[in-house]
Amino acid sequence: MRQTALIVEDDPGTRHILSSTLATAGIDCIYAETGAAMWRRLDEKPDVIILDLSLPDADGLELLRQLRQHSEIPVLIHSTRSDEIERIIGIEIGADDFLPKPCNMRELLARTRGLLRRTQRAAPGRGEMRRLHFGDWILDTASRELTLAGDQPTPLGVSGFALLVAFLEHPFEPLSREQLSRVLKREYVPYDRIIDVHVSQIRRILGKQADGSAFIKTLRSQGYVFIAEVEAVN
């Protein structure tokens, strides 16, 4: 099945370059030149969004914030607004990845394909349909829903889900930033803070354990470790 990217970008030259690049991997493209157009094109159910932050009628970060209130669609920010603060804010409010303009188009294609692979839902096998219990939380790996003590599911995003599954599958085992980059199908780049920001977001969502400690501990010069018992439940 062919997949579709929604390119939210007001510059026609950039739209052309992006669509030509994605077409080489068989990814179809639809376009939105404004924030208002983005909301309309979402009815066509794209598989991924490539989002510029500077649009004629809206701020891309605010669009992303609103989008995350009701959608888990993966979002890659592609923008000239690429200083570290913008990158951190973008990831914290729900972006899955961030690439500055201009960037290597092969890297953008690889990042986009990685996001699409993370969201593909093959029919889960019997062994894959499991619910992982830790603290007061349950992560349903079939529905990708994270729930606290029977409350409504808590949004995680595709990157947050992938990282949390990795931690739950390896409790008390140190995971390096390079290993976590592979989980997200990203090339590991030292000092790239994308992984750190995603982990901080997961920490904020999970809160504290009963003893007041965090679920995920930072290991200096090593990475991170999940420090709670994990149980598979029916």
What CATH number is given to the structural domain containing 110? 3.40.50.2300
- Domain boundary pick from 119, 153, 177: 119
The backbone region for 224, taken as left when phi is positive above 0, alpha when psi lies in -120 to 50, beta otherwise, is beta
Average pLDDT on 181-196 reads 77
**Does 30 share its domain with 110?**
yes
pLDDT digits (tens, 9 = 90+) for 17-51: 999 999 999 999 999 999 999 999 999 999 999 99
Average pLDDT on 143-156 reads 83
Task: DSSP for 41-99, please give it.
Answer: HGGG--SEEEE-SB-SSSBHHHHHHHHTTT----EEEEES--SHHHHHHHHHTT-SEEE
Question: Do 68 and 94 touch, CB atoms closer than 8 A?
Answer: yes
Q: Are strands 223-226 and 216-219 parallel, antiparallel or unpaired?
A: antiparallel
- Domain boundary pick from 92, 119, 146: 119
Write down the pTM of the prediction.
0.68
| Residue 225 predicted with pLDDT over 60 | yes
Structural domain containing residue 114: 3-119
**pLDDT at 160 (0 to 100):** 87
**pLDDT at 156 (0 to 100):** 80
* Coil vs helix vs strand at 204: helix
Average pLDDT on 124-152 reads 79
- Provide the percentage of residues in the chain whose pLDDT is more than 70: 93
**Does 140 share its domain with 99?**
no
**Does 9 share its domain with 106?**
yes
**pLDDT at 18 (0 to 100):** 94
**pLDDT at 86 (0 to 100):** 83
**pLDDT at 69 (0 to 100):** 82
**Does 22 share its domain with 97?**
yes
More confident residue, 209 or 184: 209
- CATH number reported for the structural domain that contains residue 181 in this entry: 1.10.10.10
**Does 115 share its domain with 136?**
no
pLDDT digits (tens, 9 = 90+) for 90-132: 888 888 888 888 888 988 998 898 888 877 643 344 445 588 9
**Does 13 share its domain with 67?**
yes
Average pLDDT for the chain: 87
> Number of structural domains, the chain?
2
pLDDT digits (tens, 9 = 90+) for 62-100: 999 999 888 889 999 998 887 778 888 888 888 888 888
Q: Rounded CA gap, 152 and 169, in Å?
A: 24
